[in-house]
Chain A
Amino acid sequence: MILEAVKYMILGMGVVFVFLYLMVVVLDLQHKLLMKFFPESFEDSSKEPPVTTKREKLKKVAAITAALHHMKNS
Chain B
Amino acid sequence: MKKRVIQFLLALSVVMIPIGAIATVSHMSEGAKVEAKAQKEVYESKGFGEMLYNFWKQTGIYAFLHPQEGVKNAKGDEVTKFQQSFGRLIMIGITFLLFYLAIAKGFEPLLLIPIGFGGLLANIPLANIIGDGGFIGELFKAGIENELFPILIFMGVGAMTDFGPLLANPKTALLGAAAQFGIFGTLVGAVALSQLGVFDFSLQDAAAISIIGGADGPTTVFIASKLAPDLLGAMAVAAYSYMALVPVIQPPIMKALTTPEERRIKMTTKRKVSQLEKMLFPLTVLVLTILILPESSPLIGALTFGNFVRESKVVERLSKTLQNELINIVTIFLGLSVGSKLAAEYFLVPETLGILILGLVAFSVGTAAGVIMGKIMNRLSKEPINPLIGAAGVSAVPMAARVANRVGMEEDPTNVLLMHAMGPNVAGVIGSAVAAGVYLSIF
Chain A: residues with CB nearer than 8 A to chain B?
Answer: 1-2, 4-6, 8-9, 11-13, 15-24, 26-28, 30-31, 34, 38, 41-42, 44
A28 to B171, CA, bound (A): 9
User: Could you say which of A1, A13, A22 contacts B292, with CB atoms under 8 Å apart?
Assistant: A22
Contact between A21 and B292, CB atoms less than 8 A apart: no
User: Could you tell me if A34 and B292 are in contact, using CB atoms closer than 8 angstroms?
Assistant: no
> Pick the contact of A9 from B185, B284, B289 — CB < 8 Å?
B185
B142 within 8 A of A: no
- Decide if A15 touches B434 in the complex (CB within 8 Å): yes
B180 is an interface residue with CB less than 8 A from chain A? yes
Asked whether any CB of chain A lies closer than 8 Å to the CB of B191, the reply is yes
B177 touches A20 (CB 8 A): yes
**Interface: B203 (CB within 8 A):** yes
Contact A27 B170 (CB under 8 A): yes
Residue pair B281, A27 in contact (C-beta under 8 Å): yes
CA distance A20 to B185 in the complex (A): 18
**Contact indicator A24/B170 (Cβ below 8 Å):** yes
Q: Is the CB of A24 within 8 A of B174?
A: yes
Contacts of A23 in B (CB 8 A): 170, 173, 284-285, 288, 427, 430
Q: Is the C-beta of B206 less than 8 angstroms from some C-beta in chain A? A: yes
In the bound assembly, the distance between CA atoms of A28 and B177 in angstroms comes to 17
Complex Cα distance A19/B194, Å? 30
- A41 touching B274, Cβ below 8 Å: yes
Chain B, 292-326, CB within 8 A of any chain A CB: 292-293
Q: Does B276 contact A (CB under 8 A)?
A: yes
Query: How many residues on the B side are at the interface (Cβ–Cβ under 8 A)?
Result: 45
With A30-B277, A34-B276 given, is the CB distance from A1 to B191 under 8 Å? Answer: yes
B192 contacts A20, CB within 8 Å?
no
**What is the number of contacts between chain A and chain B, taking CB atoms within 8 Å?**
112
Task: Enumerate chain A residues within 8 angstroms of B177, measured Cβ to Cβ.
Answer: 13, 16-17, 19-21
Q: Which residues of B contact A4 (CB under 8 A)?
A: 191, 203
| Binary flags per residue of B167-208, CB closer than 8 Å to A gives 1, else 0 | 100110110110011011101101110110000000100110
Of all chain B residues, which has the CB nearest A45?
A: B275
CB contacts (< 8 Å) of A24 on chain B: these are 170-171, 173-174
Known: A19-B177, A22-B292, A38-B276; 13 extra A-B contacts, CB below 8 A, are A1-B195, A8-B184, A8-B207, A9-B187, A11-B442, A12-B184, A13-B180, A20-B430, A21-B174, A23-B427, A26-B284, A26-B288, A27-B281
> Which of A9, A22, A27 is in CB contact (< 8 Å) with B167?
A27
**A44 to chain B: closest CB distance in Å?**
8
B203 touches A15 (CB 8 A): no
Instruction: Tell me if B191 and A16 are in contact (CB < 8 A).
Output: no
**Known contacts A9-B188, A23-B173, A23-B285: A16-B180 contact under CB 8 Å:** yes
